[in-house]
Amino acid sequence: MEKRHLFGQAWYKFSRSKASVVGAVLVLIVVGLALLAPFVSPHPEQAGPYVDFDRANQSPSSGYLLGTDNMGRDILSRLIFALRPGLLMGILVLAISVPIGFGLGLIAGYNRGSLLDSLIMRVTDIFLSVPPLILALAIASVLEPNLTHAMMAITVMWWPWYCRLAYNVASSIKNEYYVRYAELTGASTFHILAREILPNCLSPVLTKMTLDMGWVIMTGASLSFVGLGEQPPAPDLGNMVSAGVKYLPDYWWMTVFPAIAIVVIVLGFNLLGDGIRDLFTVEEA
Amino acid sequence: MKMDDVLKVTGLKKYFTVGKNVILRAVDGVDLSVCRGETLGLVGESGSGKSTVAYTIVGMYQPTAGTIALNGKNVAGAAVRRTLAQKGAIQIVFQDPGSSLNPRRTIAQSLGLPLRLHRRVSARDLPEKVAELLTLVGLPPEYRDRNPHSIGGGERQLVAVARALATDPIVMILDEPTSALDVSIQAKVIARLADLQSRLGLSYLFITHDLSLMRNVASRVAIMYLGKVSELAPTAAFFRDPLHPYTRMLLSAIPVVTAAEEELKPRKILSKGEIPSPVNVPPGCGFSPRCPEATPVCSKVDPAMVQTSDTHWVRCHVYGATGGPAG
Amino acid sequence: MMATDTVLEVNDLQVSFRVYGGKTRVLDGVNLRVAKGQRVGLVGEAGCGKTTTLKAIMGILPSQAVIEGGQILFRGQDLLKAGPAAVQSFRQRGAAMIFQDPTAALNPVFTVGDLLQVGLRYATESRGKTDKAHLIKRCAETLTEVSLPDPDRIMKTYPFQLSGGMRQRVCIAAAMTATREVLLADEPGTSLDVTIQDQILRLITGLSETKDLAVVLVTHSLGVVREVTEYVYVMYAGVIVEGGPTAEVFARPLHPYTAALMECIPRLTGQGFAEGIPGRLPDYRNPPRGCRFSPRCPQSLKTCGEAKPSLLDAGGRHMVACYLRAR
């Protein structure tokens, strides 16, 4: 029964909630569009340096489904390409901040009550006490504004959350009998952390990572909204919104569609995250 | 005293500090010994300290005082301070089959840990050794690739026993190994444990609150209350002739299934009151507030262990300890 | 006490759960009957469906449960066919349920007084206004009925400040504030120490006698059943396999499962006990066609595997669902 039905069982659990399925579909669409951007966007060449003032500021029409911006570029195509830096940021930020935060939290949680615990967690507390967006803005504004530096700034403010999460989970798991057994029988600390505790911490971390994808993308959009991320003419969700702000309410499509895209992305990842959490929940009969 | 004590605990104390100036006397002066090949039973309710005794012996806690002699050598202290051989010599099976095995590791991986550490089994030989262990406890070798949650509670306990056996231990501490299991599953596990004991010459320290089970499993029984041993005797004598009022109260409260057993129970002592917390041990004898036979001296002076026969000890003023009425 | 005044009756109850890969047929024909003031035991091992039966009676089955058939009659009215008003009325004034873990059953952010008043308020709501003072007085009375000392002080405490035994008493009090006819008790003493369990069981017995309260006691302990109940139902894999006056069933267990189970119980007389029942519980997704115990039964006949035996009268209110006894 075991391995063959693993996927089937997982899907059954996941699909009990219709909302989670909606989330999964949304995320798949977003990821699919981003990957296939050059092939699915109607005017791929317009996602980049391109001007055509004859077609500037046109409302949505058959050739330009979401209208054109002030430089005459197709908003739909730019939007699809803008998904790329957004997703890239989400992936890279999490790929770096999660291992660091989780690793530190694991070590601190296992050594709860010791000097090492205090050291790690107080540093974490310091980072957590600064309002996150302010911290990111501060860092990004010191460095030259571009996508890489925005990613670095967000990474710096993101790891403490995983540290705290891992700390809480690890410090409760370390009291489980199987961990105590490993200690009593003489297993090395590395084995205990990596083989006994870590696998049991994964479920809240994976759930949070899924939820966070949406929020990292939104934070990234916030940074580029104020000009600290991907610079124009490269399309980015944030800079598209900010470029269109001054044309409200006349040429509303320039701002509204990128904004809706951000909402859809965050919603999709949130719903997917709920589903992932359900997957890990063991149901009582 | 028996010559061949594999495990001898003397004057064991374990106090915990909880909060400001509040001391929890979980274990307050315990003497026990387990002879080679025998099963010593340890009985008690919550707050008695029986699990703390087990955990201290196996090295989870550093004792506040006392010695734990393993084949004559004192190993008292946290496990980290013991040698690998000592860690392998005393093994424990925990009460809760749900959390004694890592749910994210297969059974082969869980058994592999002690095999690799203690018997230096190479990766090549591991599958064979794992299969051997599983067969030893009566489980099919195919279980090696299963996860703990896909097998029943009784089978999980057997895996925990297999894990404990992986290090070739001398003494096994079984902390309520079947309390969470149904009667028919318990029977299977106990039968297997008895078989292993006779085949491998193991010595058991068997902890449970189920006196009917104890009657059939242990060769000697010690009963604990609030951190101290209040009575110690060979099983038959313990049940036929219980001396301590707490022993009698406990025996009279157990639900039994036949009229024959009902006859065996001491006259019903209606238990009253709550079990005090080891943070608040009453002065004198810890049991005196609930004891139907308490005398004035009981609430002032803590009785010492008195030997009433060759093999029967009891801690109670009624039996001629300090200042009380003789015998 | 003759079972003439039936308060609660369950007839051929069938319940399934929707799971991945189909349905698990958890209850496949549960029959039981409780008379006014009678104490009835429902005994079986883990996974046999006894808690599911109680939850079906109270109407608190989880969302994936489907009631496939059968009746649950309270005073002759079928709760499964009655409207929500009748079911509500049943829960407020007809029956109450107490659970295994009193800590989980009590909301930790409310005081004992709040918890008791809630149930009482809903039970008496439709009978005109009740003033607060009257409610509080009734709640304090109930606390005295369950032998909790100093009720006024207890009303102001939170559950975490009380011991396990006291919490279970509070749960029983909450069930008793309004006058009820049936108490459904799901393993009420299992998580408590033996001496405290004894107190709780005596309390339930006492309440049943003084208030003519019908009690359905679910437990896995045959000893408890023998001490508390007058009539017992034995359950295996979602089916009632035997039912009869307690003394009769213990003296002459007719169903092979009941007999095998009794063999597994450790006796205080020290005669040792059986090595368990071979085999495992059936897979509820694909249960055996005939008798659910037949794969494990040492005496099974060919008919046993073909058609499900129904409960047959074996004389003296003793019933058994077994072809071997139908001769």
Residue type, A202: L
For residue C142, how far is the Cα from the chain centroid? Answer: 22
Measured in angstroms, the CA of C327 and the nearest CA of chain B are apart by: 28
Measured in angstroms, the CA of A10 and the nearest CA of chain C are apart by: 9
Residue type, C108: P
Contact B257 C280 (CB under 8 A): no
Confidence of residue C133 (pLDDT cuts 50, 70, 90): confident
Q: Smallest Cβ distance to A12: which of C17, C20, C62?
A: C20
Task: Give the whole-number percent of chain C exceeding pLDDT 70.
Answer: 96
- Check residue B153 and give its pLDDT: 86
Quick: pLDDT tens for A107-145: 999 998 899 999 999 999 999 998 878 888 888 788 888
Paired with B43 in beta bridges are B208, B223
Report the C-alpha gap between C293 and C276 in whole angstroms.
Answer: 14
Contacting B with CB below 8 Å, chain C residues are 45-46, 163-166, 193-199, 201-202, 220-224, 226-227, 250, 260-262, 264-277, 280
The CATH number covering residue A99 comes to 1.10.3720.10
Contact C20 A8 (CB under 8 A): yes
A94 vs A279: which has the higher pLDDT:
A94
For the stretch C82-95, what's the b/e string if a residue is b when 16 or more beta carbons lie within 10 angstroms of its beta carbon?
Answer: eeeeebebbbbbbb
Rg of chain C taking only CA atoms, in angstroms: 21
- Check residue B19 and give its pLDDT: 82
Residue type, C190: T
Mutation for testing the B interface, residue in A114, A184, A197, A202 having most B CBs under 10 Å:
A184
For residue C304, how far is the Cα from the chain centroid? Answer: 28
Report the C-alpha gap between B227 and B53 in whole angstroms.
Answer: 9
Paired with C218 in beta bridges are C42, C186
* Percent helix, strand and coil across chain C, each to the nearest 5: 40, 25, 40
Quick: pLDDT tens for C180-236: 899 999 998 887 888 888 889 999 999 999 999 999 999 988 989 999 999 999 999
- Check residue C130 and give its pLDDT: 65
Phi, psi for residue C16 in degrees, rounded to 5? -125, 160
Instruction: Sort strands B203-208 and B171-175 into parallel, antiparallel or unpaired.
Output: parallel
Contact A185 B87 (CB under 8 A): yes
Residue A1 falls inside a structural domain? no
Report the C-alpha gap between C134 and A19 in whole angstroms.
Answer: 48
Contact C20 A5 (CB under 8 A): yes
Segments making up each domain of chain C, as ranges: 6-325
Which structural domains are found in chain B, ordered by start?
37-59+83-305 (3.40.50.300)
Cβ atoms of residues C165 and C200 within 8 Å:
yes
Chain C residues in contact with A278 (beta carbon < 8 A): none
Instruction: Sort strands C214-219 and C39-43 into parallel, antiparallel or unpaired.
Output: parallel
Contact C284/A at CB under 8 A: no
> Which SS3 state, helix, strand or coil, does residue B103 take?
coil
Chain B residues in contact with C280 (beta carbon < 8 A): 152
Domain coverage including residue A89? 6-53+63-280
Answer whether CATH 1.20.1270.360 is correct for domain C6-325: no
Residue A83 falls inside a structural domain? yes
With residue B74 as reference, give the H or E element that holds it: strand B73-74
Q: Smallest Cβ distance to B114: which of A2, A185, A200?
A: A185
Return the minimum-mean-pLDDT range out of A134-143, C15-24, C143-152, C208-217. A134-143
- Check residue A3 and give its pLDDT: 58
Residue type, A193: L
Q: Smallest Cβ distance to B216: which of C164, C194, C270?
A: C270
Mutation for testing the B interface, residue in A9, A110, A111, A178 having most B CBs under 10 Å:
A178
- Mean pLDDT value of segment C36-55: 92
Report the C-alpha gap between C231 and C33 in whole angstroms.
Answer: 10
With residue A243 as reference, give the H or E element that holds it: helix A237-245
The CA-based angle B90-B93-B98, given to 5 degrees, is 150
Rg of chain A taking only CA atoms, in angstroms: 22
* pLDDT tens-digit profile, chain B (327 residues): 455 789 999 999 999 998 888 889 999 999 999 999 999 999 998 889 999 999 999 999 999 999 999 988 888 888 888 888 889 999 999 988 888 999 989 999 999 999 999 988 888 999 999 999 999 999 999 999 998 988 888 899 999 999 999 999 999 999 999 988 888 899 999 999 999 999 999 999 999 988 899 999 999 999 999 999 999 999 999 988 899 999 998 888 888 888 888 888 887 777 777 778 888 888 888 888 888 888 888 888 889 889 998 899 999 988 875 443 443
Cβ atoms of residues B191 and C275 within 8 Å:
yes
Residue type, C158: Y
- Judge whether residue C259 has pLDDT over 60: yes
Average of per-residue pLDDT values in chain C:
89
DSSP for C143-157?
HHHTT-S-HHHHHTS
Contact C268 B254 (CB under 8 A): yes
Measured in angstroms, the CA of B95 and the nearest CA of chain C are apart by: 14
Chain B residues in contact with C194 (beta carbon < 8 A): 45, 209, 211, 250, 253-254
Residue reference for tokens 């035997």: C242
Chain C residue with Cα closest to A10: C20
Going through chain C in order, the beta strands assigned E by DSSP cover 6-19, 22-35, 39-43, 65-74, 77-78, 95-98, 182-186, 214-219, 231-236, 239-245, 312-313, 319-320
Paired with B67 in beta bridges are B10
Chain A residues in contact with C27 (beta carbon < 8 A): none
C137 burial level (CB within 10 Å; 0-12, 13-18, 19+): exposed
Instruction: Sort strands C22-35 and C6-19 into parallel, antiparallel or unpaired.
Output: antiparallel
C10 vs A228: which has the higher pLDDT:
C10
With residue A20 as reference, give the H or E element that holds it: helix A18-35
Chain A residues in contact with B87 (beta carbon < 8 A): 184-186
Cβ atoms of residues C291 and C305 within 8 Å:
yes
Mutation for testing the C interface, residue in B189, B190, B209, B258 having most C CBs under 10 Å:
B258
CB pairs under 8 A between B and C: 117
Residue reference for tokens 């095995």: B101
- Check residue B323 and give its pLDDT: 41
Tell me how far apart the 2 most distant CA atoms of chain B are, in Å: 69
Residue A58 falls inside a structural domain? no
pTM > 0.90:
no
Mutation for testing the C interface, residue in B156, B183, B212 having most C CBs under 10 Å:
B183
Neighbours of A62 (CB within 10 A): 5
Rg of chain B taking only CA atoms, in angstroms: 21
Instruction: Sort strands B23-35 and B5-17 into parallel, antiparallel or unpaired.
Output: antiparallel
Contact C163 B274 (CB under 8 A): yes
Number of domains making up chain A: 1
Measured in angstroms, the CA of C320 and the nearest CA of chain A are apart by: 28
Chain A residues in contact with C52 (beta carbon < 8 A): 285
Residue A116 falls inside a structural domain? yes
Alpha-carbon distances, residue B242 vs A16, B84, B236, B249, C295 (angstroms): 58, 41, 10, 10, 44
Average of per-residue pLDDT values in chain A:
89
Contact B183 C220 (CB under 8 A): yes
Chain A residues in contact with B79 (beta carbon < 8 A): 183-184, 186
Q: Two tokens at C59? A: 């109407």
- Check residue C125 and give its pLDDT: 63
Return the minimum-mean-pLDDT range out of A243-252, B274-283, C243-252, C313-322. B274-283
Cβ atoms of residues A107 and A193 within 8 Å:
yes
Paired with B314 in beta bridges are B231, B306
Residue A285 falls inside a structural domain? no
Report the C-alpha gap between C218 and C185 in whole angstroms.
Answer: 6
- Check residue B253 and give its pLDDT: 84
Chain B residues in contact with C224 (beta carbon < 8 A): 255
Q: Two tokens at C221? A: 């302990």
- Mean pLDDT value of segment A95-115: 93
